[in-house]
Amino acid sequence: MNRIIKRSLKVSGAMGLIVLILPYLAPPKLVLRFLPKDIYEAGKNHPVPSKKRQLFGHLLTAAFGGYFVRTMKKNADDIRREKLTFGEAFGRLMAFLYVEKALDIIVLDQFLCMTSGWYKRFYPETKDCAGWHNRSWNNKQQAARLMSYPLVCAVQAYLLTKKNRETSR
C-alpha cells in the first residue's frame, strides 16, 4: 500500500507542477476555464503566450498524461503479479485515486487557486473578482468525481482480478 500512496503523491506532485507553470504556457481561456465564471470572463482576453510556449505546454501536458497512464499500468501490473483479491485490488485503486483527489482539492484548488493568489499574478485583471472568495466554486464537479471513483475502481478491480478468481477454482 505504501507504494500506491507514493505513486499517488508523485502523480499529484507532477500535476501540481503542471498547474503551476500552465499560466506561462497556455492560453487564458484554457487555464481559466476551471475557475469561477466571473474570473474566466475577466481574464479570457488576457494576451496569449507565443506558439512555442503553447507547444511546450501541450508537450508537457501530454507527458503528464503518459506518466499518469504509466502509473496506472504499474498499479494494474502489481495487482496482477501479486494476485490480489478483488477487495485488496479495490482498496489499492481507491487509495491511489482518493489521495490524488484529496491533494487536488486541498492543495491545488483551495490553496493554490483560492488562497495563494498564484493566478492573480498572471491575470491581474481578475484581481477584484468575487470568484476568488468562493471556496465552493467546483464542489459539484468534485463531488461527482468522488462519487464515481468507487464504481470506476470496482470495475478496474474486477477486470484485474478476474483471471485470479478463474485460476483459483
Is the predicted pLDDT of residue 63 greater than 90, yes or no?
yes
- Contact between 76 and 93 under an 8 Å Cβ cutoff? The reply is no
What's the rounded Cα separation, in Å, for the pair 7 and 71?
7
Is the predicted pLDDT of residue 94 greater than 80, yes or no?
yes
Residue pLDDT, tens place only, 25-61: 999 999 998 888 999 999 999 999 999 999 999 999 9
Position with higher pLDDT, 55 vs 164: 55
Task: Label residue 48 left, alpha or beta by phi (over 0 means left) and psi (-120 to 50 means alpha).
Answer: beta
What's the rounded Cα separation, in Å, for the pair 29 and 45?
8
**pLDDT, position 165:** 60
Give the structural domain span for 155.
2-167
Query: Position 61: which residue type?
Result: T
Q: Which of 43, 40, 15 is nearest to 134 (CA)?
A: 40
Residues above pLDDT 90, as percent of the chain: 72
Q: Which of 96, 66, 72, 101 is nearest to 159 (CA)?
A: 72
Is the predicted pLDDT of residue 163 greater than 80, yes or no?
no
Grid coordinates in use for 106? 486541498
What's the rounded Cα separation, in Å, for the pair 35 and 43?
11
Confidence of residue 168 (pLDDT cuts 50, 70, 90): low
**pLDDT, position 1:** 78
**pLDDT, position 167:** 60
Q: Which of 94, 118, 101 is nearest to 35 (CA)?
A: 118
Task: Label residue 117 left, alpha or beta by phi (over 0 means left) and psi (-120 to 50 means alpha).
Answer: left
Position with higher pLDDT, 137 vs 78: 78
Residue pLDDT, tens place only, 114-155: 889 899 999 999 999 998 888 887 788 888 999 999 999 999
Is the predicted pLDDT of residue 169 greater than 60, yes or no?
no
What's the rounded Cα separation, in Å, for the pair 56 and 140?
32
Q: How many domains does the chain have?
A: 1
Is the predicted pLDDT of residue 164 greater than 90, yes or no?
no
Residues above pLDDT 70, as percent of the chain: 96
